[in-house]
Amino acid sequence: MGKILLIFRHEFLHTVKRTGFIILTLALPLLALLAIGVFHLVSGIAKPPTEVTRIGYVDEVGGFDQFTTQESITLVRFDTPEAATQSLIKKDIKEYLVIPSDFISTGIINRYTIQKEVTPPTATTAVIKNFLSSNLLSGKVSADTIARVEAPLNLITITLTSTGAVASEQGGLTNLIIPGIFSLLLALSLSFSSAYVLQSLGEEKENRLMEILLSSVSTRQLTIGKVLGIGTAGLAQVVVWTISIPFLLNLASSSIGGFISTIQLPTYFLVLGVAYFILGYLLFAVLSAGVAAISTTVREGQGLASILTLFAAAPFWFFSLLLAFPNSPVWVVFSIFPFSAPVLVMLRLGVAGVPGWQLAVSIAVLVLSIVGGLLLVAKLLRTYILMYGKRPSLGEIFRNLMIG
């Protein structure tokens, strides 16, 4: 145990002193601060103008002469497109519309502007729609009905429990934010921490230090000390990020939206977050140790290990599908598949929740994978950690694992 602690201490200190580790730990909170700052700056510059914007229009149908003031936009009528064009050139108006005589049958409106745009501004489109619908319905229905036609839906969803009571967690975007951020941090941390294990073992192999170490400690002590030492450094990194989240959210909610301050973090989420971090890290770290054992150089090992980390990040590739079909059986399978489970389960907790039995099976499979991985990797380490210069073939590795 004493030697494991010595290796643990050495690896922890060695990892937290790495320039790359320090930069990464500080980079995420700093990037978030930068993003909030940029948002402040952009939203400050792009604040809706207080002065009135004038938009011209030519009415070839007739009857579009009411509701010409909408929010900060005033619609100015012209008799001909030529007159509107002259006014646009003189910058009396910002743009103008032509409501053609067949508008009622086609719905087509021609918009003329001298500004280059990707799409028309949302606010302008909304104003034009309201102007058209209000004039079309004016005198035929009540003002309230006109208002409803303009904004027909304000959907409020209330989630009930199986007993019919109102559920304590109502889901929605606010509930997705923390699991989303946490999953991203988890995927990053799993990738980086397991990369540190690979780099550390790979360097000791490449620098020919391994044999000196193994004359003092066993492969078991070396692997446990290293995995735990580097894992603790990874956990410290996640803690720094997690501590910075409330501070950043407070900062963000003051500008981005008050809803962020309403986010609540259930205790079970924190418990599962820590559990999945530890299990996910152990699985990836153990497999990284195996990759280091069979690789001749750190660079070669990193190439092989990147295949593993692709699995950790894979749930993000299918995030839009997860949002669209949160209850698909595919997610159940990948929540149990040990490589994708840590990140996917965290994401699903935010999207639609995960039934207890799936959590139990997912954790059990992860634990079994770690134990099985440890046994296989111990064999790989014993066989290949002192083999230099030539990477064994897959067939050779398989044969050696079978022989034991």
297 scored as a contact of another protein (CB under 8 A):
no
Q: Report the alpha-carbon distance of residue 228 to residue 296 in Å, rounded.
A: 24
Question: Stretches 144-152, 216-224, 344-352, 369-377: which one binds another protein (CB under 8 A)?
Answer: 216-224
φ, ψ of residue 198 in degrees (nearest 5): -60, -45
CB of 160 to another protein, least distance (A): 59
State which residue, 19 or 106, has the beta carbon closest to another protein: 19
- Give, in degrees to the nearest 5, the angle at Cα 307 between 346 and 315: 25
Q: Report the alpha-carbon distance of residue 144 to residue 131 in Å, rounded.
A: 15
Contact 317, 199 (CB under 8 A): no
Residues 327-346 that bind another protein (CB under 8 A): none
In this structure, the chain runs to a length of 404
State which residue, 10 or 391, has the beta carbon closest to another protein: 10
CB of 404 to another protein, least distance (A): 11
Query: Could you say which of 134, 191, 199, 221 contacts another protein (CB under 8 A)?
Result: 221
Give residue 309's Cα distance to chain centre: 16
10 scored as a contact of another protein (CB under 8 A):
yes
State which residue, 49 or 389, has the beta carbon closest to another protein: 389
Pairing of strands 69-70, 73-78: antiparallel
Query: Could you say which of 213, 235, 256, 304 contacts another protein (CB under 8 A)?
Result: 213
136 scored as a contact of another protein (CB under 8 A):
no
Q: Report the alpha-carbon distance of residue 167 to residue 175 in Å, rounded.
A: 13
State which residue, 10 or 129, has the beta carbon closest to another protein: 10
State which residue, 38 or 401, has the beta carbon closest to another protein: 401
Q: Output the six-digit token pair for 12.
A: 């922890």
Pairing of strands 95-99, 110-113: antiparallel
CB of 300 to another protein, least distance (A): 18
117 scored as a contact of another protein (CB under 8 A):
no
CB of 373 to another protein, least distance (A): 22
255 scored as a contact of another protein (CB under 8 A):
no
Question: Stretches 5-13, 67-75, 277-285, 291-299: which one binds another protein (CB under 8 A)?
Answer: 5-13
Residue 3 pairs in a beta bridge with none
Query: Could you say which of 214, 275, 278, 365 contacts another protein (CB under 8 A)?
Result: 214
State which residue, 214 or 265, has the beta carbon closest to another protein: 214
Residue entry with tokens 């050779």? 396
State which residue, 217 or 367, has the beta carbon closest to another protein: 217
Whole-angstrom Cα Rg for the chain: 30
3 scored as a contact of another protein (CB under 8 A):
yes
Q: Angle formed by the axes of helices 298-317 and 173-206, to 10°? A: 170
Task: State the greatest distance between any 2 C-alpha atoms of the chain, in Å, as a whole number.
Answer: 96
State which residue, 39 or 388, has the beta carbon closest to another protein: 388
CB of 15 to another protein, least distance (A): 12
Element (H, E) at 99: strand 95-99
State which residue, 183 or 219, has the beta carbon closest to another protein: 219
**Residue 268 CB-density burial (10 A; 0-12 exposed, 13-18 middle, 19+ buried):** exposed
- How many residues of this chain interact with another protein, rule: CB under 8 A? 21
CB of 382 to another protein, least distance (A): 7
Is residue 113 helix, strand or coil? strand
Beginning with the edge strand found earlier in the chain, give each strand of the sheet holding 69-70 in spatial order: 69-70, 73-78, 53-59, 95-99, 110-113
CB of 204 to another protein, least distance (A): 8
Residues 355-394 that bind another protein (CB under 8 A): 382, 386, 388
Residue type, 218: S
Q: How far is CA 39 from CA 120, 181, 389, in A?
A: 22, 18, 52
Question: Stretches 43-51, 58-66, 136-144, 199-207: which one binds another protein (CB under 8 A)?
Answer: 199-207
CB of 27 to another protein, least distance (A): 22
Q: Report the alpha-carbon distance of residue 27 to residue 49 in Å, rounded.
A: 35
Residues making contact with another protein (CB under 8 A): 3, 6-7, 10, 203, 206-209, 211-218, 221, 382, 386, 388
